[in-house]
Amino acid sequence: MNQIDINKIEQINEISEASEYLFSLICPNSRLQKALAFAIEAHEGQFRKSGEAYAVHPILVAAIVASLTEDEAMVVAALLHDVVEDTDVTVSDISDAYGIDVAHLVEGLTKIDTIRDAQLIPSYSDERLVVSALSFRKMLIASIEDVRILVVKLCDRMHNMLTLQALSPQKQRRIAEETLVVYAPIAHRLGISFLKNRLEDLSFNFLFVKEKKAIKHYLEENYSAMQSRLNAFQQRITKLLLQNGFRMDDFEIISRIKHNYSIYLKMQRKGIGIDEILDLLAVRVLVKEPVDCYKVLGLIHLNFQPLSSRFKDYIAIAKDNGYQTLHTTVFNDTAIIEVQIRTYEMHHMAEFGVAAHWKYKNGTSGNINLDWLQNLQYQNESVEDFYELIKNDLYSEDISVFSPKGKVFTLPRGAVALDYAYAVHTEIGDYAEYSFVNKERVSLLSELHNGDIVRIDTAAKPILRCSWLDAVKTSRAKNNIRANCKHRIKSVNAQSATLILSAILDLEPEFVDEWLRMHGFYENRSKAAKDLDPGDAPEPSVWKLFCRTPFQTEAISVRLP
């Protein structure tokens, strides 16, 4: 795949230059040529705020897409992504000219704008954007079924972020905030760190001007010192590998300094200064085979003192989004350096995520693992709840725990045994009675740690734990507990309705209950309530009964035996 030069993209502002750049990344066949000409013509006479011809934008979005994937439909869709919205061209025109697949992508992209208009608070409002941005993201994830649409949208946003300078400071902030809250997390879930890191850094520049200045200042001040530490380390590792059977072309070492936004997040999360961040300096060792990763790791650990708590094997235990790499942090003299070791293939996967799988002209999204969608499924919470939930799921570091048979489950840090139970299956969560962590019986609320083996024993009946709502960590557990407890509250209400009814009619409650059962008032109960406890009083139909006029109640009482 062709590596894209983001700095170059930022400089381009003419159609001819943009087109040339696009075709340096993807071979210009007739369909692409046609779409390019079409986009240029459709946007003829339109200009962006910066003054450049509008068509420059879709062409460069197409270039970013082409750098991620060889899926031609996505590149064509990127070229055409704004025509339905901004010109007289319709989706069926696109379908006729470029096929249903492209039309479907363009339609999805246009739909995103509609959802955005409906969900995001208008720009004249003083209200903070973040809350509405979260509901926008929720809607987006729920309604876009083809992941390729989201990927093209991310590239669109990437180019918008690169050209944000031309807008007013207020608009800059709003778009940057939207990017940080809506799009960067989606890029993360899709495993496209290439887009995620840049979207984050670009947003960060506009949102946290002061902090950005401080970080930039520090990095500039210390640049040469940091660089020479990295170089020294890189040289030592190169020598070490060459002495131990690796040849020069078997590996590659890339050194880097952590990206701005993740420096900022680390400082925030740990309440520390920039000079206290342990993994500010990092090197990445790329090798050919997975087993070589472990050889390199062995050599590094035997020659440099590792910080034992910071070793992570994401090769054997991949992250949810498919990420695989060995992470370790070691001392080199007084410097502390993070080392990431992965194969070239893992590197490609880490940069391009889901997009790495797509093949040329592949019309469908194929077997892309959409599990990540599950993790972002939120329903019916208030936005404040939603914000809390999403914060837990997206921004905390994850732990991996195991079922007794060795199946891996990724949970947010701080998750408890009951979270695990719900992660395995909703029913396991509902019926959970005892939990065993590493064969020892513990409370269902005990916190899990990386590598724990967890077993859940279930009861014969579901067990309601309404007061535990705040003790669980995952949105899945919270949602289920909340839903079950709603039923409990309703059924308690229904029970008291039966009692009141029996008092009014001067009958035994069991008798009223039996009568209701015989007359079909139980049948309308929701399935969930029935599963919950078959002996519970009916709801909500009993309310209907109870709310009838006295006359009707009398009529019923006459019919009672």
Q: How far is the CB of 85 from Mn ion (least distance, A)?
A: 8
Nearer to Mn ion by Cβ, of 49 and 269: the residue is: 49
Angle at 147 between CA 145 and CA 152, to 5 degrees: 125
**Cα 518 to Cα 540: distance, rounded to the nearest angstrom:** 16
Q: Please state the closest distance from residue 368 (CB atom) to Mn ion, in A.
A: 24
Q: Is 40 or 215 the residue whose CB approaches Mn ion more closely? A: 40
| Distance, CA of 301 to CA of 139 (rounded, Å) | 46
- CB nearer to Mn ion: give 90 or 458: 90
For the bound state, the minimum distance from the C-beta of residue 82 to Mn ion, rounded and expressed in Å, comes to: 5
Q: Is 447 a catalytic residue?
A: no
Which is closer to Mn ion, CB of 175 or CB of 287?
175
Output DSSP code: residue 535.
T
CB 61, min distance to Mn ion, A? 6
Sequential DSSP letters for 43-93: TTT-B-TTSSBTTHHHHHHHHHHHHH---HHHHHHHHTTTHHHHSS--HHH
- Round to whole Å and give the CA distance between 266 and 305: 23
Residues that bind Mn ion (CB under 5 A): 82, 156
Based on CB atoms, which residue is closest to Mn ion, 82 or 351? Answer: 82
Residue 320 and residue 371 in contact, taking contact as beta carbons nearer than 8 Å:
yes
Residue 449 near residue 415, CB atoms below 8 Å: no
Cα torsion angle, 364, 369, 371, 372, sign: negative
- Of 82 and 101, which has the nearer Cβ to Mn ion? 82
Catalytic residue among 14, 41, 44, 85: 85
Smallest distance, Å, CB 199 to Mn ion?
15
> Which residue's CB atom is positioned nearest to Mn ion?
156
Q: Which residues pair with 287 in a beta bridge?
A: 251, 343
**Where is 477: in which H helix or E strand?**
helix 475-505
Q: Which of 10, 17, 52, 86 is catalytic?
A: 86
Our answer to whether residue 85 is catalytic in this structure is yes
Min CB(153)–Mn ion separation in Å: 9
Per-state percent for the chain, helix, strand, coil, to nearest 5: 60, 10, 30
Give the whole-angstrom CA distance, residue 45 versus residue 54. 8
- For Mn ion, which is the closer residue by CB, 114 or 526? 114
Rounded to whole angstroms, the Cα distance separating 296 from 315 reads 13
Edge-to-edge strand ranges of the sheet holding 281-287: 251-257, 281-287, 335-343, 326-332, 312-313
> Minimal distance in Å, beta carbon 77 to Mn ion?
11
Where is 528: in which H helix or E strand?
Answer: helix 527-532
- The catalytic residue positions are 85-86
